[in-house]
Amino acid sequence: MAEKPQISSNTTSANFSSLPVILLLGLFSLPLLVMYAYLFVDTISDTEVGSLIPNEFTLRHWSFLWETKTGKPNIWLVTLNTFIFASCITGVILTVSSMAGYVLSRLNVPARGFFLAGVMVLHAFPSVTLIIAIFIVLQWIGLYNSLIGVILVKAAVELPLGIWLMKGFYDTVPWEIEMAGTVDGASRFTVWRRLVLPQIKPAVMALGLFSFLTGWSEFIMPQVLAPGAKVQVLSVYLASLIIDDNNFDFGTFKAVGVFYVVPVLILYVFFQKHLMNIYGGGTKG
């Protein structure tokens, strides 16, 4: 199972030296690295105006972690909201697309072609253009300024891609597995849950991760549909720091930015393997 990555890392050194490649990549990534390093240094130091060299160490910019700024919601509440937002989106997207994808791939439902085309069109449609209409609808049904409302909207907007992806992966699962399952006495639902779904597990993991990251970084929807202090998410919180023209604080802005990106980095470290898998064709053996 773990052979794949090993092979690819070994073969590079077999044919040519990887050193020039590493040097070149290093050279090109250097500006990025410097920027990230500088960003982090900036959050824990003060720099005199006009200078590039930090002159004193301070935790002042990170104080948002332990004291709530006036007029701003508590950072931990905001973080929790963001987690709820991203996780619920992931849950909805995974549940709906893994089922809808199966139906579109395998079941002889009426108007299947129409649904397939519809999913494609919806995916291509720029969802921002809908935001005013959605705003009105949400306000009308009383879900404006609530996490539920924005979760439903964001999940719905992401669903076409998820369904399409899942359908593609289901298409690669051999029919015989399903035939064998039904002949063995399993209901169609059991066949899906116990036999077919496990075949596309890597794809499900990857879609889950993507959905979480999309939710985590989403800004426009929460900003427009749920800007209230109780339901604010990190991206909105971050934006609110510089939107205030009178007293903006770049140190804190940068610190919140770093704080915002840390969970993403952690996720990438843990799920890297699954992420690679979705590009490598998903299921194996």
3 state DSSP class of 129: helix
Specify whether the backbone of 249 is left (phi greater than 0), alpha (psi in -120 to 50) or beta: beta
Q: How many CB atoms lie within 10 A of CB 48?
A: 10
Nearer to another protein, 171 or 244 (CB): 171
**Is position 97 an interface residue for another protein (rule: CB under 8 A)?**
no
Q: How many CB atoms lie within 10 A of CB 96?
A: 17
- Smallest distance from another protein to CB 192, Å: 13
Enumerate residues 135-174 that contact another protein by CB under 8 A.
174
Nearer to another protein, 179 or 220 (CB): 179
- In the list 109, 177, 220, 265, the residue contacting another protein (rule: CB under 8 A) is 177
**Is position 285 an interface residue for another protein (rule: CB under 8 A)?**
yes
Enumerate residues 99-138 that contact another protein by CB under 8 A.
none
- Smallest distance from another protein to CB 120, Å: 25
Pairwise CA distance, residues 88 & 218, whole Å? 13
Pairwise CA distance, residues 255 & 272, whole Å? 26
- In the list 13, 95, 187, 272, the residue contacting another protein (rule: CB under 8 A) is 187
Q: In a 10 Å sphere around its CB, with 0-12 CB exposed, 13-18 middle and 19+ buried, how is residue 132 labelled?
A: exposed
Find all residues with CB under 8 Å of 75, minimum gap 6, and list them: 64, 65, 68, 237, 256, 259
**Is position 193 an interface residue for another protein (rule: CB under 8 A)?**
no
- Smallest distance from another protein to CB 188, Å: 9
Interacting residues toward another protein by CB under 8 A: 174, 176-177, 179-187, 190, 195, 198-199, 201, 285
